[in-house]
């Protein structure tokens, strides 16, 4: 980085990146948010101004260096203003998932010792107020949306506008305060606590420093680790995944700050598909669940199309298969012949299809945060969207490996970034990484830190991997998720689960078989697609549960499992399945905030289903390889 003007030291901070950009093109658009039906521009100058107001406001509230401030909101400009404003006073940002229920909010606020909470609306304020007595350090709750909150009379509540006004008054009184603080910024300053989703046990707050963020930004953003070629100010991003997750922080806040790509905030999580069509981003990052949903959306809508359109789709997707094959044989790059075929298909299908999905202008796409089925990646390759599957985790600032352009290998997470050491531990095959992005440890959990980060600086990821062709890393599974059957076979459940989830009808699949004679699976259906499927076949149903238990649906699931079984060895065959008759939910503790299945919790909740399979009772809805069990429920 070039030296920064006068009073500041050379410590790299995200805020300085933003300030530099504002100095060069202050009137340029930094981000857009949809308000009242219009995408409102926010310029770099406005961004910097808001950040400084937040910083001053926090000072006005009496916050000090190293204090924690939590943000509990959907993605919106204020998230970024808050995040960088907190860093401007060398405070620590704690991100909360909008879906976090009140007990988790209590845990996170108490564990981090948060002094100020920035809560989006009534929903989040209510959660905080409900658990206020469990959070002794909480002094202020700043709310963004006054609706339903403004009338509450509570000493800790403070509206965003008042908060900003305090900042403005403070800035007039002490115009130099933030500059002096910035001057003292150190590379080791903790900038954020990113709470791991906690599939086992309570979440742990991973501490990331200025130096971590600097390294991560330089490698995965400007180094092209995420998107190749690297992002530039002409790029367009849609921000819709939770910003408290390290991946979305990387693709929104960091990418925006260091590359100048324009961020667009989705209106809400429910409008993402519409927003995607409007924004037509050039860079698109999604987690496997989103890619699966996009694929299912295309397939379901295609199923309802007229025959001419179906035939057109069928023809060009067949051609697409050929294009994808020749591209993959060529490391993910077009060959002359595939380009010619693509050009024709572009006219008849790919252009319209991509535009309708919202990927019309995507020049680089990425998938991470969970394992994805190669089948899903392949589907997008067929329409010319190259998805870079990459690997990283909170604890290493999302920096580890990625599929480099021209060297893509489907089913792997690619090669280590430059300057990143990745090795497999002897014996266990656990993936270890070492680089300047490795985190500073878990907040207030030295033992857990010691378990993860060893004395030589190696980060123990908890994932088991293997090398493919000596260059590309393939993730087998989480160590603790590996199933060892009663016969002593090691089996990776996520591979089987992803293969099942590649079907548009399956939303959740949980493979069971640890210390058991054979493998079984719990299946949760995707209500939208199966519902559509059932309607097309005139199968009546009332509720999610009713739909799950229909004989036709059981046969459908059985067929999907049989297809997966065909492709696997006998020991990996799924002998039986049972239906999960409720939609899994974060609120109920079945899923983590990132929609990952909490295995331990589920095996407890669905104990009866599992027992039913292994005891041979066959009394609950489900089936085996040859037959299905239909349970008739009497009138209730």
Partner 1 sequence: MSSATSKSRHTTRGRPRLYTNYASEMAIFNTGAKRLWILIGFFALVILPFLLDRDMVSLGAKVLIFAIGGIGLNLLTGYAGQVSLAHAFFLGIGAYTAAVLGGEARGGVIGLGWDMAIWLPLAGLVPAIVAAVIAPLAARVRGLYLAILTLGLVFIGEHIFKEAKPITGGAGVGRAPAEPVFLGFDLFANYEVFGIEIDRYTMLFFTCLVIFVVMALLARNFTRSRFGRSFAAVRDRDIAAEVMGVSLLRTKTLAFAISAFYAGIAGALFSIVIGRISPETWNFFLSVDFLAVIFIGGLATITGSIMGAIFVVMLPQLVNALTRYLPIDPGVGGGGLLNVFELQSIIFGVLIVVFLIVEPRGLYGLWLRVRNYFKAWPFSY
Cα–Cα separations (whole angstroms), residue 428 to 8, 239, 431, 600: 47, 37, 9, 22
Closer by beta carbon to partner 1, 359 or else 464? 359
Stretch that binds partner 1, among 72-80, 273-281, 465-473, 626-634 (CB under 8 A): 273-281
**Residue of 43, 222, 603, 605 that binds partner 1 (CB under 8 A):** 43
Q: Which helix (H) or strand (E) is 341 found in, with range?
A: helix 336-345
Contacting partner 1 (CB under 8 A), which of 217, 253, 255, 280? 280
Examine residue 29 and tell whether it contacts partner 1 (CB under 8 A): yes
Q: Is 300 helix (H, G, I), strand (E, B) or coil?
A: helix
- Rank residues 40 and 335 by Cβ distance to partner 1 and give the closer one: 40
How many whole angstroms separate alpha carbon 426 and alpha carbon 464? 11
Euclidean distance between CA atoms 149 and 443, whole angstroms:
32
Peptide bond preceding 229 in cis form (omega within 30 of 0): yes
Q: How far is the CB of 296 from partner 1 (least distance, A)?
A: 14
| Residue from the set 7, 27, 200, 471 that interacts with partner 1 by CB under 8 A | 27
- Work out how close the CB of 277 gets to partner 1 at its nearest, in angstroms, rounded to a whole number: 6
Is residue 605 within 8 Å of 590, Cβ to Cβ? yes
| Pick 38 or 336: Cβ nearer partner 1 | 38
Name which of 25 and 624 has its Cβ closer to partner 1. Answer: 25
Question: DSSP letters of 121-178?
Answer: SHHHHHHHHHTGGG-TT--EEEES--TTTTT---TTEEEHHHHHHHHHHHHHH-TTHH
264-294 residues labelled b (16+ CB within 10 A) or e (exposed): bbbbeeeebeebbeebbbbbbbbbbbbbbbb
Q: Is 328 in the site for partner 1 (CB under 8 A)?
A: no
32 is a site residue for partner 1 (CB under 8 A): yes
Interface mask toward partner 1 for 229-268; x: CB under 8 A: ----xx-x-------------------------x------
How big is the site for partner 1, counted in residues (CB under 8 A)? 32
CA distances from 397 to 79, 542, 620 (A): 19, 45, 44
Pick between residue 190 and residue 258 the one whose CB is nearest to partner 1.
258
Q: How far apart are CA 118 and CA 120, in angstroms?
A: 7
- For position 38 contacting partner 1 by CB under 8 A, the verdict is yes
Strand, coil or helix: what is 608? Answer: helix
615 phi, psi to nearest 5 deg: -85, -10
From the list 23, 173, 305, 486, which residue makes contact with partner 1 (rule: CB under 8 A)? 305
Q: Which two tokens stand for residue 386?
A: 């190259």
Judged by CB under 8 A, which stretch of 20-28, 446-454, 559-567, 580-588 contacts partner 1? 20-28
Candidate ranges 247-255, 272-280, 336-344, 464-472; the one touching partner 1 (CB under 8 A): 272-280
Q: Is 440 helix (H, G, I), strand (E, B) or coil?
A: coil
| 567: CB partners within 8 A, 6+ apart | 499
Q: 180: buried, middle or exposed (CB in 10 Å: 19+, 13-18, 0-12)?
A: exposed
- Tell me which of 156, 168, 301, 334 binds partner 1, using CB under 8 A: 301
User: Among residues 212 and 529, whose Cβ is nearest to partner 1?
Assistant: 529
Q: Which of 118, 130, 129, 124 is nearest to 154 (CA)?
A: 129
For 91, phi and psi rounded to 5 degrees?
A: -90, 180
Subset of 91-150 contacting partner 1 (CB under 8 A): none
For the bound state, the minimum distance from the C-beta of residue 77 to partner 1, rounded and expressed in Å, comes to 15
304 binds partner 1 (CB under 8 A): yes
Comparison of 282 and 592: residue with beta carbon closer to partner 1: 282
- Residue closer to partner 1 by CB (options 46, 189) is 46
Helix (H) / strand (E) containing 107: helix 102-112
Residue 313 touching partner 1 (CB under 8 A): yes
- Contacts with partner 1 in 540-559 (CB under 8 A)? none
Residue 277 binds partner 1, judged by CB under 8 A: yes
Sign of the C-alpha dihedral computed for residues 501, 503, 508 and 511 taken in this order: negative
Among 37, 155, 540, 616, binds partner 1 (CB under 8 A): 37
Of residues 180 and 356, the one with the C-beta less far from partner 1: 356
**Residue 497 and residue 476 in contact, taking contact as beta carbons nearer than 8 Å:** no
Specify the residue, 309 or 318, whose C-beta has the smaller distance to partner 1. 309
How far apart are the two ends of the chain, measured CA to CA in Å?
Answer: 69
Ordered alpha helix ranges (H), 202-268? 210-216, 246-249, 255-259
- Closest by Cα among 380, 316, 324 to 347: 316
Shortest Å distance, C-beta 262 to partner 1: 5
Q: How far apart are CB 81 and partner 1 at their closest, in Å?
A: 19
Nearer to partner 1, 273 or 543 (CB): 273
353 to 372: interface string for partner 1, x by CB under 8 A: x--x----x-----------
Task: Give me the residues that bind partner 1 (CB under 8 A), please.
Answer: 25, 27-29, 32, 37-41, 43, 233-234, 236, 262, 277-280, 301-302, 304-306, 309, 312-313, 349, 352-353, 356, 361
């Amino acid at each position: 980085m070039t030296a920064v003007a006068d009073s500041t030291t050379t410590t790299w901070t995200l805020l300085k990146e933003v300030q530099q950009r504002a100095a060069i093109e202050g009137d340029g658009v930094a981000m857009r948010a949809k308000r009242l039906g219009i995408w409102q521009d926010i310029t770099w100058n406005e961004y910097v101004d808001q950040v400084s107001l937040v910083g001053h406001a926090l000072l006005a509230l009496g916050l000090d260096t190293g204090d924690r401030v939590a943000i509990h909101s959907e993605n919106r400009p204020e998230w970024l203003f808050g995040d960088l404003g907190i860093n401007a006073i060398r405070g620590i940002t704690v991100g909360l998932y909008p879906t976090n229920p009140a007990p988790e909010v209590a845990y996170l606020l108490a564990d981090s010792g948060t002094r100020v909470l920035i809560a989006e609306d009534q929903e989040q304020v209510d959660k905080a107020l409900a658990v206020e007595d469990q959070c002794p350090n909480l002094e202020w709750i700043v709310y963004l949306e006054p609706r339903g909150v403004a009338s509450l009379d509570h000493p800790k509540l403070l509206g965003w506008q008042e908060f900003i006004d305090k900042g403005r008054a403070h800035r007039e009184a002490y115009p130099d305060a933030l500059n002096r603080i910035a001057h003292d910024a150190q590379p080791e300053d903790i900038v954020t606590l990113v709470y791991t989703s906690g599939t086992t046990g309570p979440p742990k707050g991973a501490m990331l420093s200025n130096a971590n963020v600097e390294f991560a930004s330089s490698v995965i953003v400007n180094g092209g680790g995420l998107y190749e070629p690297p992002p530039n100010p002409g790029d367009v991003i849609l921000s819709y995944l939770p910003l408290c997750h390290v991946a979305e922080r990387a693709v929104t806040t960091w990418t925006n700050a260091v590359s100048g790509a324009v961020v667009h905030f989705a209106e809400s999580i429910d409008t993402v598909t519409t927003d995607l069509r409007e924004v037509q981003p050039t860079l698109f990052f999604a987690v496997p669940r989103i890619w699966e949903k996009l694929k299912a959306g295309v397939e379901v809508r295609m199923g309802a199309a007229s025959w001419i359109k179906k035939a057109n789709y069928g023809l060009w997707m067949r051609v697409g298969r050929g294009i994808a094959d020749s591209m993959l044989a060529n490391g993910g790059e077009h060959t002359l012949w595939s380009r010619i075929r693509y050009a024709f298909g572009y006219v008849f299908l790919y252009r319209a299809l991509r535009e309708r999905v919202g990927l019309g202008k995507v020049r680089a796409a990425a998938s991470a945060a969970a394992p994805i089925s190669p089948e899903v990646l392949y589907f997008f390759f067929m329409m010319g969207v190259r998805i870079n599957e990459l690997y990283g985790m909170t604890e290493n600032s999302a920096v580890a490996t990625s599929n480099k352009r021209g060297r893509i290998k489907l089913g792997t997470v690619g090669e280590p970034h430059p300057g990143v050491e990745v090795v497999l531990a002897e014996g266990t095959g656990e993936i270890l990484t070492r680089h300047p992005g490795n985190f500073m440890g878990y907040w207030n959990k030295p033992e857990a830190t010691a378990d993860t980060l060893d004395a030589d600086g190696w980060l123990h990821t908890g994932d088991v991997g293997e090398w493919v062709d000596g260059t590309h890393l393939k993730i087998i599974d989480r160590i603790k998720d590996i199933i060892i059957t009663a016969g002593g076979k090691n089996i990776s459940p996520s591979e089987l689960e992803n293969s099942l989830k590649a079907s548009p009808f399956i939303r959740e699949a949980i493979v069971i078989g640890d210390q058991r004679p054979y493998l079984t699976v719990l299946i949760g259906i995707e209500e939208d697609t199966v519902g559509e499927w059932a309607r097309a076949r005139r199968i009546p149903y009332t509720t999610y549960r009713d739909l799950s238990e229909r004989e036709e649906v059981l046969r459908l699931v059985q067929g999907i499992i049989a297809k997966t079984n065909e492709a696997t060895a006998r020991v990996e065959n799924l002998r039986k399945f049972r239906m999960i008759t409720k939609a899994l939910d974060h609120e109920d503790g079945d899923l983590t905030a990132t929609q990952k299945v909490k295995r331990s919790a589920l095996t407890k909740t669905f104990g009866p289903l599992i027992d039913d399979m292994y005891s041979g009772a066959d009394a609950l809805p489900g089936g085996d390889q040859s037959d299905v069990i239909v349970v008739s429920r009497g009138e209730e």
